[in-house]
Amino acid sequence: MDDGVAFTYAQFNARVNEVVYGLMTQGVHHGSFVGLMLGNSIEFLVSSYALKKIGAVEVAINTDFRGPSLSRMINLTESPLLVVSAQYMDSLNHVAEELSFLQKLIVVENEERTPCRLKDVEVINFRDVVSDNNANPGFSVRDDEIAYVLFSSGTTGVSKGLLLSHRYAMSNAFAIVEEYELTAADIVYTPWPLHHFGSAVCELLSALICGGGAAIRKRLSISRYWEDTRNCSATWCMMMGASQKYLWDKEPSPDDRNHSLRFTWGGPFPVDRGKFEERFGLKTYYCFGLSDCGMLSVRSPHIEGQPTNCGKVRVDYFDVSIVDDFDNELPAGKTGEIVCRPKVPGVILKAYYGMPEYTLEAFRNLWFHTGDLGKFDKNGDLHFFERKKHVIKRAGENILPTEVGEVLHQHHGIEESAVLGVRNNAGEEDIVAFIQCVEDAIVDVEELRAFCHDKMARWMVPMEFIVLDKLPRTTTDKPSLAELRKLLEKT
């Protein structure tokens, strides 16, 4: 929508094929890992689907990442090739010395490009890679082969690379199509980043499966949200993070119902869903899923009940159970951790790339542990309540305190830090960083904020920095998060 570019299915397929042959001339083949560091754009879409046709693996780089998190993502699969937008060249330059495996950059020059400071790396213009051959290549790719490395957060201190198959993607997209009864007449509106599971699989791929339309924005704009949906005649969309809250907080307008949306789906919902539906004249549907295992349940449009109700488990694909801290199964009505296992090969992650110990831990006792708390009700519907793992949820992202701390500890004046998430009025969490300075050092908070903005995603930057003489500690000599929370309550 930002560029005013539209494709029919035939035109899109032809453009994808042109990129297939171009990438092959750069050494991409079946099984290659190729990084994509692109914002929402035609170049992202055609590159992503070209890799799928070849049988190569898309390594979807979160474009908001900076510093150590970014270099870790790029280095993980040791891919020699990265397709990148020129606007992110400065981020790459900041970690140039840490990128050990890159040999080629294919650059989309949508603006004046910052010079590349990566040594011994060949820089190629994306336009020069696109071939003039648009014939279908006809390669054979099994649906249980790996299609993506998508990145998610965990409790190990680093972002995890999820190995996900074509079958995983298709099974999740079919779930959306079938439960919400999508047809070729439906159009999805998405401003969410295409390197995320929700937009790439549940929205775009669902639209492709049913022969419908997709209207894509580069980023979310609350001020033009309803205008956008009107302009593209959207019938459905995903809402996540605090987007519902921001829309709800806008001054009521006669245009609140002047749109074609039939429903939104996603969650959690930080506002009263019934009132939201009444004001905006649409339905809101809940679900339970995570990037690691996809959509375990999708709430049917025909289900009524509590806002936490995520509907029936997709029993053709999964076994799901609720367990206590010792993995003992709990009866209906009791809250515990949601665990699952696949009935069909390849419908959840194969592994966490390069993290065998964490993979074994996540799959302990023959169940995949989601780290989420929920229950089954007496009707067999799955309810989701909150995260069990210690992550901070902000702007639709799961943020590891240790990743924030990793950057803070690079500052010359910081001896130690502790990071907490504090619930805000939008139903998400603000990040608060407690700082203990190096002896005799004085840390300027605004300078520290600028330091963080330079080295991490904007939504990872703490909202507040609190400097303490000494961090309170536990008996095992770790920062006491409980004491820090008490300190926050006093202030």
pLDDT band at 153 (very low <50, low <70, confident <90, very high): low
pLDDT for residue 156: 39
- pLDDT, residue 305, reads 65
The model's pTM: 0.83
Q: Cβ atoms within 10 A of the Cβ of 312, count?
A: 18
Which element (helix H / strand E) includes 25?
A: helix 9-25
Of 188, 171, 388, nearest to 296 (Cα)? 171
Residue 428: pLDDT band with limits 50, 70, 90 = confident
Residue with tokens 């309170």: 472
What is the pLDDT at residue 405?
87
Provide the percentage of residues in the chain whose pLDDT is more than 70: 95
Q: For residue 141, give both structure tokens.
A: 């790719």
pLDDT score recorded for residue 390: 65
Q: What pLDDT is attached to residue 287? A: 86
Summarize pLDDT for 182-207 with one digit per residue, the tens: 999 999 999 999 998 889 999 999 99
pLDDT at 386 over 90: no
pLDDT band at 125 (very low <50, low <70, confident <90, very high): very high
pLDDT, position 488: 86
Please check whether residue 393 is in contact with residue 421, taking contact to mean a CB–CB distance below 8 angstroms: yes
pLDDT in tens, 269-326: 778 888 999 999 999 888 898 899 999 998 777 666 677 888 899 999 999 999 998 9
Q: Find residue 302's DSSP bridge partners.
A: none
| Phi, psi (rounded to 5 degrees) for 167 | -65, -40
**What's the mean pLDDT in 396-411?**
83
Residue whose C-alpha is closest to residue 166's, from 46, 298, 57: 57
Which pLDDT value is given to residue 303? 62
Q: Model confidence over 28-79: pLDDT tens digits?
A: 999 999 999 999 999 999 999 999 999 999 999 988 888 988 999 999 999 9
At 154, the pLDDT band (50, 70, 90 cuts) reads very low
User: Which pLDDT belongs to residue 155?
Assistant: 36
Give residue 424's pLDDT band: very low, low, confident or very high (50, 70, 90).
confident
What mean pLDDT value characterizes the chain?
A: 90
pLDDT for the residue numbered 293:
93
Question: Residues 142-155: what's their mean pLDDT?
Answer: 82
Kindly indicate the confidence band of residue 403, based on its pLDDT and cuts at 50, 70 and 90: confident
Would you state the pLDDT for residue 246? 83
Query: What's at 237, amino acid-wise?
Result: C
Q: For residue 227, which phi and psi values (nearest 5 degrees)? A: -60, -40
**Which pLDDT value is given to residue 444?**
92
Report the alpha-carbon distance of residue 123 to residue 479 in Å, rounded: 45
Burial 391-423 (b: 16+ CB within 10 A, else e): bbbbbbbbbbbebbbbbbeebebbebbbbbbee
pLDDT over 80 (residue 80) = yes
pLDDT at 114 over 90: no
What integer pLDDT is reported at residue 461 of this predicted model? 94
Question: 303 vs 211, which has greater pLDDT?
Answer: 211
Let me know: does 56 contact 33? Beta carbons within 8 Å: yes
What is d(CA 143, CA 55) in angstroms, rounded to the nearest whole number? 10
How large is the average pLDDT for residues 388-395?
A: 74
Look at strands 122-125 and 318-323 and give their pairing: unpaired
Q: Which of 121, 136, 114 is nearest to 52 (CA)?
A: 136
**Is the predicted pLDDT of residue 412 greater than 50, yes or no?**
yes
Q: Which domains does the chain carry?
A: 9-141 (3.40.50.980), 393-490 (3.30.300.30)
pLDDT tens digits, one per residue of 350-373: 999 999 999 999 999 999 999 888
